[in-house]
Chain A
Amino acid sequence: MIRSLLIAFAVLVSSCGVTLAEVQVGKEAPDFALTDTNGKSHHLSDYKGKYVVLEWYQPDCPFVRKHYNSGNMQALQKEYVSKGVVWLSIDSSAAGQEGNYPPDQLNQIATKSGSARTALLLDPEGKVGHLYGAKTTPDMYIINPQGTLVYQGAIDDRPSADLGDVKTAKNYVKTALNAVMAGQTVATNSTRPYGCSVKYAR
């Protein structure tokens, strides 16, 4: 009797659909599947054996623009993609919100900015955004070839929208990637990301 009550209750509770961010440095990065701007589907698990960078992206956010207009983000993408890193940018802007563009328009923006990312993934329902607990753009995650999260947080230590700060800032992503790829541990493996809020559905 008691057990059947509890089961009935468990059914009710589990239908609440509470999604909690369960992503933590040192733990396995949860798998996901998203479609990119060219209609190609990407599973995180496809890239086991490679370093993966996740970059939360929203073209109209001034903090994203800081890193693209200064060429900083593209330089990082170019450098590490050439070293075999998979660079996935993710746009979690919901329909009708800032940064939610049709795929071909996003491709145009990418070409114009000279981005060197592997792919730009579309997440208008915010599923992967919520899964990873992404709060700002940019918000960066580095996953090692074993599928473990090795860095999460800000791109650098200068929370501003000033282009000039890019040069003098300490780039956490670069530092972390260099460290893990040289077989060292990451000194600063998580920071608080800064920027605009991810434009989730209202």
Chain B
Amino acid sequence: MKNGLPRSFYLVLICVVCSARLLTAQVQDGRELVRATLLTDTATVQAGQKFHIGVLYKIEPDWHIYWKYAGDSGIPTEIQWHLPPGFQAGPLQWPLPARDKEPGDLEVFAYGSEVLLYSEVTAPASLPAGPIAIKADSKWLVCKSSCVPGEANLSLELNSGQTASDSSLFQRYAAQVPQVFPAKYQLSIARQAQQVTVSFSGTESSASLDFYPEPPPEVVLGHGKQLGNTVTFSIDSEGKALDRLSGVALIKDGSKVQAFQVPGQEFNHLKAAVGADRAQTLDLTAFLQAVGFALLGGLILNVMPCVLPVISLKIFGFVSEAGDRPDKAFRLALAFAAGILACFGLLAVGVVLLRGAGANVGWGFQFQDERFVLVIACIVFAFALNLLGVYEITVSAGATGGLARLASGQGYASAFFQGVFATVLATPCTAPFLGTASAFAFAQPPLITFLIFFAVGIGMAAPYLLLAANPKWLGYLPKPGEWMVRVKQVLGFLLLGTVLWLAWIVGQLKGVQEMVVLGALLLLIGIIAWIKGSFWNPVASVRAKLLSAAAIAGLVILASASYSFFTAPSKLGWQKFSQESLDAALDSGRPVFVDFTADWCITCKANERFAIDTAMVRNAFAQRQVITLRADWTNGDPAITEILKRHGRAGVPMYLVYPGGKNREPALLPELISAQSVLDALKRG
């Protein structure tokens, strides 16, 4: 709603009230949405003095005005200073805004209730005598469910004896303005394809990072995905290549939040204290660590129950085939190792190809994508159950038969295929590790994937090479026995720990609800694994196998049905319930349906699913233009408790149907409703 009064009216007004402050009105439903006031922290100013001027915006509850980057919608608040000659205004200072959600998953950066936007001003070396007029023109957009632009032309006079100053207010807001980025933290902002990753180091381990970006106007960024000390943004569109990103970095430690302004510097130039070489070595250490673990992992594969007994047999075989030429035994072992490496190479190729194919269809293979983390957590959990002996992985006889023929006989070629054969035969024991490693490798670039898989292969092949070179060392080889099973089980628990870590990531990305979804999935996988292990083993009868298959299919169907039941979004357009929204709806004269519900209320969900959100009710609601309000009692909102009590109910569900028109008496529906009972209540009105 624009103010229709001419500007000259305000000039007159200034003279009349002789006030240093000037308010303009932006009225909706008889209420001023934003009251803007021009303020100073000093009433009298001396030559050369630095002081502050600012506009204080007082905003109606639930409405907000916007930060310098408004977000998905909205317009940044604007101030233009008009100062006498010689006065210099610094850049506008923006206190930290709140990050809010608007319907439709739109994210905005905004201020509610009150904010002061201010600049530092330097007075000239010589001041004119008499009052000094300071003017400011401000424009803003204020939004709740609708948006209203507003503007104000404000002025005040310094050195006039008429103006009040309020330095404590300026101090209060100065404390909320992001500070200069300190040298004790390191921050890097890097771009990879259509993604910008902001990462921190040097912060306390309990701290988490957040980042409010300030992209240029040609660029549309996705919402930041925060994970520990990194925040990732997708670049949804760029009219001009994005080569730098400024913004505000937030370090949250408990309830303490520190905000720092990060200037835009070209990507891959590292911010603040961190030097380029340091980042390089960091990456190298991380990489060497990964390769080290991969080698170790490959070595550990050798103590698995299906591998260890084979080692001495193989070595004896090579030694006897070599006869009196010990160097031939080593060369045979080399061919055998090449066979093992070939297997791992193939596995790496598979991972890289699948990753490429997945990237093409838009799968995000990265730890910022909760679907990826969810899949990995499930795979790791399934393998953990295998290691703990809940079920066994079996290799099909057809595949092993063919390989066995190739591997029979003597010579380097057959030694090579024996290596392949040994690797494949070992899968029942090694699959948990290789599967887990492959899953993690999906998040890595191809070269790293290859190097890591080869490292695992070299680790697995190492004992053969060492022992073929020194057959005497066979005596040091640990004897196979029960302890191998124990090692396997301990490793199983290690994988369960990994699942816990992944669950934490999912929680960080998506919150507790998604974590519970993951828990439910793991439960499902656990039951399926148990059925497979107990009833669907190689010795089971056909009938037992069929029954198991049916049980598994039933479980999966049940699980997906209950998942969609609990998470399907309503097709009705619900407004948030409040006494005000109800009054406004009733004022419109249209019928009103109020759903009192809670996330944990199964009856509510069932009613919503089977009675309210049905085609019949949706059509009737559309026809009669029913306004639908939803009162969410999940957190026990006392205002809603009060209304429940008033209608004689102790809890949810509760449904009120207001017939519309002048009649403001609602019909109270029973706790269990059908589509018909909703329609009947509407017709009665």
Q: Which positions in A face B, CB cutoff 8 Å?
A: 1-2, 4-6, 8-9, 11-13, 15-18, 20-22, 24-25, 60-63, 94-98, 100, 102, 124-126, 129-130, 133, 135-136, 152-154, 157, 159-162, 188-202
Contacts and interface: CB of A to CB of B under 8 A. Distances in A.
A173 B574 CA distance: 34
15 contacts: A5-B378, A8-B552, A15-B563, A95-B628, A135-B73, A160-B75, A160-B139, A188-B218, A192-B215, A194-B73, A195-B147, A197-B72, A197-B73, A197-B143, A201-B572
B147 A196 contact: yes
A188 B240 contact: yes
Interface stretch (B101-109, B246-254, B644-652): B101-109
B73 A196 contact: yes
A160 B568 CA distance: 38
Dominant SS among interface residues on chain A = loop
B339 interface: no
A24 B237 contact: yes
B149 A9 contact: no
A25 B237 contact: yes
A96 B236 contact: no
B218 A192 contact: yes
A133 B236 contact: yes
Contact of A1 (B524, B532, B630): B532
B521 interface: yes
Contact of A190 (B105, B141, B218, B393): B218
A190 B239 contact: yes
B375 interface: yes
A198 B104 CA distance: 8
B236 A21 contact: yes
B521 A12 contact: yes
B104 A197 contact: yes
Given A97-B573, A161-B141, A201 B104 contact: yes
Dominant SS among interface residues on chain B = mixed
B145 interface: yes
B148 to A, nearest CB: 7
Contacts of A98: 145-146
Nearest to A22: B362
Interface string B234-270: 0011111000000000000000000000000000000
B222 to A, nearest CB: 9
A125 B571 contact: yes
A1 B218 contact: no
A10 to B, nearest CB: 9
Contacts of B145: 97-98, 199
Nearest to B622: A95
Contacts of B630: 202
Contacts of A22: 362
A150 to B, nearest CB: 12
Contacts of A196: 73-74, 141, 143, 146-147
Contacts of A15: 560, 563-564
Given A2-B382, A2-B435, A95 B572 contact: yes
A200 B103 contact: yes
Contacts of B219: 192
B374 interface: yes
B578 to A, nearest CB: 12
Contacts of B374: 13
Given A4-B552, A13-B371, A60 B217 contact: no
A202 B108 contact: no
A61 B147 contact: yes
B65 to A, nearest CB: 13
B460 to A, nearest CB: 21
B559 interface: yes
A198 B573 CA distance: 14
A5 B218 contact: no
Contacts of A135: 72-73, 104, 106
B28 interface: no
Greatest chain A CB density within 10 A among B552, B556, B567, B628 is at B556
B567 A16 contact: yes
B211 interface: no
A9 B104 contact: no
B617 to A, nearest CB: 13
Report, nearest first, the 10 A-B pairs whose CB atoms are least far apart.
A200-B104, A197-B73, A161-B149, A95-B573, A94-B573, A190-B237, A196-B147, A201-B573, A190-B239, A135-B72
Contacts of B391: 1
A188 to B, nearest CB: 5
Contacts of B143: 196-197
Contacts of B567: 16
B475 interface: no
B220 interface: yes
Contacts of B72: 135-136, 197
Contacts of B73: 135-136, 194-198
Contacts of B215: 192
A135 B145 CA distance: 14
A202 B576 contact: yes
A62 B219 CA distance: 23
B355 to A, nearest CB: 15
A25 B108 CA distance: 24
Nearest to B364: A20
Greatest chain A CB density within 10 A among B108, B382, B431 is at B382
A135 B72 CA distance: 6
Interface in B324-377: 362, 371, 374-375
Contacts of B76: 159
A157 B218 CA distance: 9
Interface in B135-162: 139, 141, 143, 145-149
A97 B103 contact: yes
A25 B237 CA distance: 8
B619 to A, nearest CB: 12
Contacts of A95: 572-573, 622, 628
Greatest chain A CB density within 10 A among B149, B528, B568, B574 is at B149
B375 A60 contact: no
Nearest to B627: A96
Contact of B574 (A13, A62, A201): A201
Contact of B146 (A8, A21, A60, A126): A60
A8 B528 contact: yes
B19 interface: no
A57 to B, nearest CB: 14
B439 to A, nearest CB: 11
Given A5-B528, A190-B220, A161 B75 contact: yes
B103 A94 contact: yes
B405 to A, nearest CB: 26
B569 interface: yes
Contacts of A193: 220
Nearest to B107: A135
B575 interface: yes
A197 B106 contact: yes
B55 interface: no
Given A62-B147, A95-B622, A190-B218, A202 B375 contact: no
A196 B105 CA distance: 14
Greatest chain B CB density within 10 A among A16, A96, A157 is at A96
A102 B393 CA distance: 61
B573 A130 contact: no
Nearest to A25: B237
Given A11-B556, A62-B149, A159-B75, A197 B218 contact: no
A28 to B, nearest CB: 14
A5 B141 contact: no
B525 interface: yes
